[in-house]
Structure 1
């Protein structure tokens, strides 16, 4: 057999041994070597905190605008603006010359009335004075005592003191100013702890209670969360908004937070320790539904899921996925239902 015939015979033999067919493209795709590399993660239970979000504002624990109860001229200011003051510390003192004179006059009248009452008592005991005259002397004494108490009260009102410890604001008057009764002098804020006022929808009523924890974020400290606790719930739902007012207390020992700041609030209403929690990147939408890929027998299987609570980078799956299943985390854009996959 010449060399050309021998080569042809070898080719025919090889074709017959292989069944006469070359490997198809479909079988090549099914080979494990052609599986799509992905990152997978086994679904494990995790803790999930159910939260309500709201916006509100910070309020001082105690806040007051200091005003005089009587008119007068300011002769002394006893605090420094923007600084801490103690309870009972003098803030403003008004000219008290007239009030002191009234107290002296009332005290002298009381002393005279007391002596008259004492003499009336002696005469009554000797039966030289009638009961009505003795009663008149007693009434005069009591009236003089009341007049003295009134004069002393007016004198006390010339000294305006702090009703509680706090931080004094910017004063609106100066020494020598004549102020009217009820005129604004300065604001005083207690800031060791703050109040947080916010509202939630009436539908949340069954899930809220005093003692629940909150987290507060403010624009001044964008990377920080301040923790507080709900202590009061308004018994009435607002007619206009159908919302419920809540008030929480927020510790503020460093004085970083200030009354009037805008606050974003997260209210924890429930916590589950055995929830199904997955990376948020493993979930993708199709229309108005959400899906994940689950690895079954080496292939990616499309699975519809229902998402519950979300947190940064994670999401709770409340339906469609069970603990222990293998979830595709990355490479989703190259997959379809039934695509062979391998862990990268």
Structure 2
């Protein structure tokens, strides 16, 4: 009886051993046998050589460097307003004309009175020299002359101001008057701006004050602007830190000769303190890990690979980071929080540019690959 039972028990142990070995072999080749990971072009980016900058973050609003409010110089009825909002004007261009029905005659009368008082003074001077009048009469004639000069100057000034001219070249951004209006002296008439240069005002933390100085380059990205980042220069730095916020105010001048940018746009960027002209860069989202343990995942020949990297300049404006070592230019890196990124895993690419990789990655792992470990 004992000898008959020993054979099945031995066979059972042998079967268990073979089953265990079989499971071990399958596990070792699980990466190759798994279904390929499908990625799109949106999941990949190329490591490329570009200029990167980094520095002190800033944000604020762009405003015209030249901003002029024009008010009514007198109280009179407006005859005409030949300009509209949005219209470009040169310095000295006519913006409005007041009626001169009373101004012109008043100026002519004042000029005549001036000429008469001047002649009277001259006559009294000659009479005084001849001993015919007292000195006080000469002084009175001189006072009348000076008074007539002031009245004539005022009348001529009002007549001249009846034509309102642009004090600067620019664009009429606001018009507050129409023909027929009778604004009071000092009432707003026009708002003229010149955007060939823009001002950008921002604050930086006090601990960065020594890194920001007049002449420092500022690189900005404009909200809603599809063009390349714009650059300006720090024109002025406030002399003191705000004790309440511990922030230092800076003033940046931004060239805008083509006039594509307008006042009021929000911009953000950095005062450049580091610049690398030819940096090997990848998107920030391509770098994984933290601290001293950083890596990127690449796709080549339909296979994922992990590369330990060392990073350098971090350019927030361009959403790029410099790769100092661990990666070659042109490498295709995986971006975004994707799961299943196992080194050695097979990959298929969908979308433009994925055909070449698909030719390799689309082939499922064969029996030889599964069993050969």
Normalised by the size of structure 1, how large is the TM-score?
0.70
| Corresponding position of 1:315 | 321
Q: Does 1:177 align with 2:181?
A: yes
Q: Does 1:291 align with 2:259?
A: no
Question: Contact between 1:191 and 1:258, CA under 8 Å: does it hold in 2?
Answer: yes
Q: CA RMSD in A?
A: 3.9
Q: 1:247 and 1:171, CA in 2 relative to 1: closer, same or farther beyond 3 A?
A: same
| Corresponding position of 1:76 | 80
Question: Alpha-carbon deviation of 1:293?
Answer: 6.3
Question: Contact between 1:308 and 1:316, CA under 8 Å: does it hold in 2?
Answer: yes
Q: 1:128 aligns with which of 115, 128, 132?
A: 132
After superposition, what is the alpha-carbon deviation per residue over 1:3-30, rounded to whole angstroms, capped at 9, x for unaligned? xxxxxxxxxxxxxxxxxxxxxx99xx9x
Q: Give unpaired runs (5+ residues) of structure 2.
A: 1-23, 29-48, 297-304, 335-339, 344-373
Question: Alpha-carbon deviation of 1:281?
Answer: 6.8
The alignment covers a number of residue pairs equal to 290
Q: 1:301 and 1:76, CA in 2 relative to 1: closer, same or farther beyond 3 A?
A: closer
Question: Contact between 2:288 and 2:295, CA under 8 Å: does it hold in 1?
Answer: no
Question: Contact between 2:307 and 2:327, CA under 8 Å: does it hold in 1?
Answer: no
Question: Contact between 2:202 and 2:249, CA under 8 Å: does it hold in 1?
Answer: yes
Normalised by the size of structure 2, how large is the TM-score?
0.65
Q: 1:152 and 1:326, CA in 2 relative to 1: closer, same or farther beyond 3 A?
A: closer
Q: 1:91 aligns with which of 79, 92, 95?
A: 95
Question: Contact between 1:279 and 1:329, CA under 8 Å: does it hold in 2?
Answer: no
Normalized per residue, the structure richer in strand is: 1
Question: Contact between 1:290 and 1:306, CA under 8 Å: does it hold in 2?
Answer: no
| Corresponding position of 1:222 | 226
Question: Contact between 2:242 and 2:248, CA under 8 Å: does it hold in 1?
Answer: yes
Question: Alpha-carbon deviation of 1:189?
Answer: 0.8
**1:119-158 matched pairs, under 5 angstroms:** 119-158=123-162
| Corresponding position of 2:264 | 260
| Corresponding position of 2:250 | 246
Q: Give unpaired runs (5+ residues) of structure 1.
A: 1-24, 30-44, 295-299, 336-344
Question: Alpha-carbon deviation of 1:183?
Answer: 2.1
